[in-house]
Structure 1
Amino acid sequence: MDGVSGPRGTDPGDQVQWAVAALAAFGILAFTMVWAGGTFGAGLAGYGWDAPPFALSTVSTLLSAGPAALWPGAPAAVTYAGMFGVLTMVSVSVVLVINLFMDRGRAPKGLAGKRELAAMCPQGIEARARELRPTLKGRERLHPDETGNLLGDLDPKGPELRSSYEDVELDLMAPRAGKSTGIAVPRVLRAQGAVLLTSNKSDVYAVTRAQREKAGTVWTFDPQGIAHAPRAMWWNILGECHTIEGARRMAGHFVASVNDDTAKKDFWISAAQNTLTALFLAAARGRAPLTEVLAWLADPADRTPIDLLREVGLVAMAEQLQGTVRGAVETRDGIYETARQTAACLLDPEILAWVTPDPHLPEFRPHEHVLGTDTLYLLSKDGGGSAAGVIAGLADATMRAGVVAAERMGGRLDPPLTAVLDEAANVCRISDLPDLYSHFGSRGINVVTLLQSYRQGARVWGEVGMDALWSAATVKLLGAGLDDADFVQKISTLVGQHDVRTPSISRSKDGTSRSYSYRQESVLPPDRIRALPKGTALLLATGVKPALIRLRPWYKEPGAAEISAAAKAETAAITERAAARLLPGLSLGKESDRGAVRA
Structure 2
Amino acid sequence: MLILHLHDHHNAARLITEKQSLTSRQRDGVFDMARRFLGNLTDENYAQVVIPPRRRIISVTGDEQSGIHLDGEPEADVRHNLPEFDPRAFVDSTDSLYALSMEGPDSAAPIMTALVGQIIEAALTAARSRKNGRLRLPLLAVLDEAANCCKLGELPAYYTYAGGHGVILMTFLQVLEQGLELWGEHGLHKMFTQSIECYGGGIGDTTYLRRWVDLIGNHEIADTQVNTGRGGTGYTRSWRNEPIVEIAELAALEKNRAVIRFPGNKPVLCRKTFWTDTEFAPAIRRSLELYGGQGA
> What TM-score, normalized to structure 2?
0.81
Instruction: Give the deviation of 1:420 after TM superposition.
Output: 0.5
Distance 1:572 1:459 in 2: 30
The answer on whether the counterparts of 1:383 and 1:426 sit within 8 Å (CA) in structure 2 is no
Distance 1:510 1:326 in 2: 93
2:36 to 332, 341, 344: 341
**How is 1:95-134 mapped onto 2 (pairs within 5 angstroms)?**
none
Instruction: Give the deviation of 1:316 after TM superposition.
Output: 5.2
| Letter paired with 1:472 | Q
Instruction: Give the deviation of 1:463 after TM superposition.
Output: 1.1
State which structure, 1 or 2, has the greater radius of gyration over its C-alpha atoms: 1
Alignment of 1:549 with 2:270, yes or no, is yes
Structure-2 residue corresponding to 1:525: 246
Instruction: Give the deviation of 1:373 after TM superposition.
Output: 1.9
Instruction: Give the deviation of 1:309 after TM superposition.
Output: 2.3
**How is 1:418-433 mapped onto 2 (pairs within 5 angstroms)?**
418-433=140-155
Instruction: Give the deviation of 1:320 after TM superposition.
Output: 4.5
Distance 1:466 1:345 in 2: 28
Query: Aligned residues: percent identity?
Result: 31
Structure-2 residue corresponding to 1:395: 116
- Contiguous gaps of at least 5 residues in structure 2: 54-79
**How is 1:262-411 mapped onto 2 (pairs within 5 angstroms)?**
306-315=1-10, 317-322=12-17, 324-325=19-20, 332=27, 335-358=30-53, 360-409=81-130, 410-411=132-133
**Quick check: which one's strand share is greater?**
2
Structure-2 residue corresponding to 1:465: 187
1:58-82 deviations in Å (ceiling 9; x for gaps): xxxxxxxxxxxxxxxxxxxxxxxxx
Larger RCO: 1 or 2 (CA < 8 Å, sep 6+): 1
1:566 to 267, 287, 295: 287
**How is 1:556-595 mapped onto 2 (pairs within 5 angstroms)?**
556-571=277-292
The answer on whether the counterparts of 2:215 and 2:266 sit within 8 Å (CA) in structure 1 is no
The answer on whether the counterparts of 1:345 and 1:351 sit within 8 Å (CA) in structure 2 is yes
> What TM-score, normalized to structure 1?
0.42
Alignment of 1:477 with 2:172, yes or no, is no
Q: 1:461 to 1:310 in 2, by over 3 A?
A: same
RMSD: 2.4
2:156 to 416, 427, 434: 434
Instruction: Give the deviation of 1:423 after TM superposition.
Output: 0.6
Structure-2 residue corresponding to 1:486: 207
| Letter paired with 2:237 | Y
1:142-188 deviations in Å (ceiling 9; x for gaps): xxxxxxxxxxxxxxxxxxxxxxxxxxxxxxxxxxxxxxxxxxxxxxx
- Contiguous gaps of at least 5 residues in structure 1: 1-305, 574-599
Which stretch has the larger CA shift, 311-320 or 513-522? 311-320
Distance 2:274 2:52 in 1: 40
Q: 1:334 to 1:517 in 2, by over 3 A?
A: closer
| Letter paired with 2:35 | R
> Which secondary structure does the structure 2 equivalent of 1:532 belong to?
coil
Q: 1:562 to 1:502 in 2, by over 3 A?
A: same
| Letter paired with 1:344 | G
1:516 to 219, 237, 252: 237
Q: Would you say how many aligned residue pairs link Structure 1 and Structure 2?
A: 267
| Letter paired with 2:247 | P
Distance 1:442 1:380 in 2: 29
The answer on whether the counterparts of 1:539 and 1:549 sit within 8 Å (CA) in structure 2 is yes
Structure-2 residue corresponding to 1:449: 171
2:260 to 522, 529, 539: 539
Structure-1 residue corresponding to 2:75: none
| Letter paired with 2:176 | Y
Distance 1:317 1:415 in 2: 34
